[in-house]
Amino acid sequence: MQPVNWGVLGASRFAREHMGPAIHAARGARLAALATADPARAAPFREFCPELRVHDSYAALLADPDIEAVYIPLPNHLHVEWSLKALAAGKHVLCEKPMAMAAGDYGALIAARDGAGLLAAEAYMIVHHPQWQRVRDWIGAGEIGRIEHADAHFSYDNRADVANIRNRPETGGGGIRDIGVYAYGSVRFATGAEPAELTARIRRENGVDTWAQVIGSFAGLQDSFSYAALTSMRLYPRQEVVFQGEAGLIRLSAPFNAGIFGEARVEMFRKGRPELVERFPGVRQYVLQVEAFGRSLREGVPYAWRLEDARGTQAMIDKVFASEG
C-alpha cells in the first residue's frame, strides 16, 4: 500500500509528543511536513523524523502538492476554519476533538467533505482501541444483560498552567469540550444509545468550566438507562467508565488515555460466573487511529468515527451546557 503523506498544522505539544510520533510509526503513513513559523518548535519533530519538511505557514503546507492528509491539533476555536480550508485545498482531514464548537457547525463540514469526495474525521482515538471494541461487542451480545446504568469519570488538575488553552475562554477551552467529549461519546459508542434527559451542574473559573457533573438518562432502540458523569480540570487524576447491567457489570480502568494513564484493562463481572479480565499491553491507540485512516483512504474500509458520529457527541455537549441547573 502506498503510504499516505501527512502534514501537521501547528507544532503543538500534543502533536509533538503523541500524534507526530504516531503518524511516523504507523504502517501506511509517512510524516512528511509540519507547518510552524518558529523553526525552534520544529526541532523536536526532526529528532524522530529527520526528513521532515517544514513550512512557515499553514497555507503553505496546504499548498504542498505532496501532502494528502493533514492532522489539525490547533485550539478548538480554529478547528472548523482550518478543516474547511484543508478540504478546499484537496486534503483529507483528521482534526482534534472537539472538531467544532457547536453541533450546527457540522453541516458545513459534512457538505465540504461530501463535495470534495474526501475523508474528514474527528481524532476520537478511543474507538480504535480494542478495549472499547470489546466492550461494545460484549454489550451488544447481551453479556451483562440489559444496561441499567452507565457512569463515567475523567479528571486531571491543570490549575497551575494558567496559559493552557484549556484554561482560556477565547480558545474554546473548558473541561467539557476537552474531556467531556470522552465521558459522553464513549457511552454513545459502546451502547448505540443517545442522551434523553440531562441535568448539569457546572463550576467555572475565568469563563471556562472546570468541574461538571451531569446526570440523566440514555435511550436506545431497546434499552434506556440512567447516566452520570463527572469531568474536572481541578481534581486528582482519575479515569473510569462502568456499565451496569441487570446480569453483570463492565469496568474500564484506563478508558481514555490507555497506556499513558494506566494499563488498558477491562473487567466483566457476571452472576454465577468467574470474573473476566482482559488486558491490552503495548497497544498504541494513536497509531491505530492513523492506520485506520490510511486503510479507509487506500482500501475503502469504513472509518469507525464519522463526522455524523462526532456531531452526535457535540449535540450532547450542547445539551449539557443548555441543561445547566
- CA dist 303 and 225 (Å) reads 28
H-helix or E-strand spanning residue 185: helix 181-191
**Catalytic choice (85, 97, 271, 319):** 97
How wide is the angle at C-alpha 166 spanned by C-alphas 165 and 167, nearest 5°? 90
- CA dist 310 and 296 (Å) reads 17
- CA dist 62 and 93 (Å) reads 11
CB 230 within 8 A of CB 118: no
Integer CA distances (angstroms), 322 to 172, 196, 201, 232, 248, in order = 16, 13, 11, 18, 33
Determine the 3-state secondary structure of 15 from DSSP: helix
Residue whose C-alpha is closest to residue 71's, from 116, 4, 132: 4
- CA dist 54 and 42 (Å) reads 7
Is 97 part of the annotated catalytic residue set? yes
Determine the 3-state secondary structure of 103 from DSSP: helix
Take residue 322 and report the three cell numbers written for it: 443548555
Residue whose C-alpha is closest to residue 155's, from 245, 255, 79: 255
- CA dist 319 and 313 (Å) reads 10
List Cβ neighbours of 299 (8 Å cut-off, separation of 6 or more).
1
Question: Which residues are the active-site residues?
Answer: 97
